[in-house]
């Protein structure tokens, strides 16, 4: 009897293990079914279609990949509340510049102190070490749009207001280009070629620029601009015949007298130097 019970328990365990295996096999999909359900991967080298560009009338479409060469990026840190950074104005700004590749600071307006401080009598102030006290850091001033600054810096204030702070990410194409910029000494090595830059800028003031009357206009022609021809000079009107009343004969116009050429004065013999009396 005991042997019969043991045999039944063994058969039960065998059936339980077999049922578990069958359940796992049915739950796991076959490799062929999974391969059929997986989408096919194309191995062709055909470039992906570029996003459609909405063109204005008159511009023919082309089939080519749309690419971006470089772009100026920025982050507004503080939104200003003063005057707009209008073009062709005098900007007064503080700045700090770094190399985007290494983070080395290459220049900052905060490192350029102003003129020495003076007292009410005009004497320069000195500190506890008898050193002349420098003035506060001096911002730089430049006229926007005149080529006095690198393109990325010059255009980086667009949309700002006085009091605003912004971080500029300037690609090397809008900075110092393929040549870079030499530094003044070994301690200030300058900017290597093809180097992207990062600037933190603060717009302090915007002023109008007073140009002298004989100064050439700042809006000089640029590539893509049509040059307007100069205005023609007005020609003097031709002489019109005298107006006559109906039934009256036309009167001849009087000839304008021509100035007579004055004969050259005859050579006078040299007179001795003497004081001449006034004519009577």
Taking residues 187-207, report their average pLDDT: 95
State pLDDT tens for residues 132-183: 999 999 999 999 999 999 999 999 999 999 999 999 999 999 999 999 999 8
CATH of the domain at 143: 3.10.50.40
Asked which of 7-21, 97-111, 187-201, 264-278 is least confident by mean pLDDT, the reply is 264-278
Range of the domain at 113: 73-207
State pLDDT tens for residues 224-249: 444 454 555 555 565 555 444 444 44
Residue 217 has pLDDT above 60, yes or no: no
How many distinct structural domains can be found in the chain? 1
Q: What is the pLDDT of residue 245?
A: 44
What are the Cα distances from residue 277, in Å, to 189, 265, 274, 280? 82, 22, 9, 8
Residue 1 has pLDDT above 90, yes or no: no
Residue 84 has pLDDT above 90, yes or no: yes
In a domain, 99, yes or no: yes
Q: What is the pLDDT of residue 10?
A: 53
Continuous H helices in 111-257: 151-155
In a domain, 220, yes or no: no
- What CA dihedral angle connects 56, 60, 62 and 68, to 10 degrees? -40
Show Cβ contacts of residue 76 under 8 Å, excluding neighbours closer than 6 positions: 160, 164, 165, 166
In a domain, 227, yes or no: no
Q: Is the pTM of this model over 0.75?
A: no
Q: What is the pLDDT of residue 271?
A: 46
State pLDDT tens for residues 21-79: 444 554 454 444 444 445 454 554 544 545 678 899 999 999 999 888 999 999 999 99
Taking residues 116-141, report their average pLDDT: 91
Tokens describing residue 47: 């470039």
Residue 205 has pLDDT above 80, yes or no: yes
Name, of 128-132, 137-141, 263-267, the range with top average pLDDT: 137-141
In a domain, 214, yes or no: no
Show Cβ contacts of residue 172 under 8 Å, excluding neighbours closer than 6 positions: 178, 193, 194, 195, 196, 197
Of the candidates 159, 167, 162, 165, which has an alpha carbon nearest to the alpha carbon of residue 81? Answer: 162
Q: What is the pLDDT of residue 188?
A: 84
In a domain, 176, yes or no: yes
Show Cβ contacts of residue 109 under 8 Å, excluding neighbours closer than 6 positions: 93, 94, 95, 96, 137, 138, 139, 140
In a domain, 119, yes or no: yes
In a domain, 43, yes or no: no
Q: What is the pLDDT of residue 222?
A: 45
Of the candidates 263, 148, 135, 142, which has an alpha carbon nearest to the alpha carbon of residue 204? Answer: 142
In a domain, 150, yes or no: yes
Q: What is the pLDDT of residue 184?
A: 87
181 φ/ψ angles, rounded to the nearest 5 degrees: -145, 130
Local confidence band at 259 (pLDDT 50, 70, 90 cut-offs): low
Give the whole-angstrom CA distance, residue 203 versus residue 140: 10
Of the candidates 197, 165, 159, which has an alpha carbon nearest to the alpha carbon of residue 70? Answer: 197
100 CB-contact burial (10 Å; exposed 0-12 / middle 13-18 / buried 19+): middle
CB 22 within 8 A of CB 15: no
């Amino acid at each position: 009897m005991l042997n019969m019970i043991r045999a039944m328990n063994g058969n039960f365990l065998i059936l339980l293990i077999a049922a578990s295996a069958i359940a796992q096999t049915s739950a796991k999909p076959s490799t062929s079914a999974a391969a059929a359900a997986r989408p096919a991967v194309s191995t062709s080298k055909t470039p992906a279609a570029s996003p459609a560009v909405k063109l204005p009338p008159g511009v023919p479409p082309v089939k080519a990949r749309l690419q971006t060469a470089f772009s100026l990026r920025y982050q507004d840190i503080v939104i200003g509340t003063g005057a707009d950074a209008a073009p062709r104005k005098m900007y007064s700004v503080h700045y700090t510049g770094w190399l985007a590749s290494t983070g080395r600071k290459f220049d900052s307006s905060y490192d350029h102190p102003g003129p020495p401080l003076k007292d009410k009598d005009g004497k320069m102030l000195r500190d506890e070490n008898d050193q002349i006290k420098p003035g506060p850091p001096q911002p730089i001033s430049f006229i926007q749009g005149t080529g006095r600054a690198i393109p990325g810096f010059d255009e980086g204030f667009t949309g700002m207001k006085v009091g605003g702070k912004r971080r500029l990410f300037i690609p090397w194409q809008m900075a110092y280009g393929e040549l870079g910029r030499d530094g003044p000494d070994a301690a200030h090595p300058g900017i290597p070629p093809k180097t992207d830059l990062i600037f933190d800028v603060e717009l302090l003031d915007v002023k109008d620029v007073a140009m002298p009357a004989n100064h050439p206009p700042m809006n000089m022609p640029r590539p893509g601009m049509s040059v307007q021809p100069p205005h023609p000079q007005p020609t003097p009107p031709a002489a019109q015949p005298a107006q006559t009343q109906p039934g009256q004969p036309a009167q001849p116009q009087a000839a304008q007298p021509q100035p007579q050429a004055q004969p050259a004065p005859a050579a006078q013999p040299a007179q001795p130097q003497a004081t001449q009396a006034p004519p009577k």
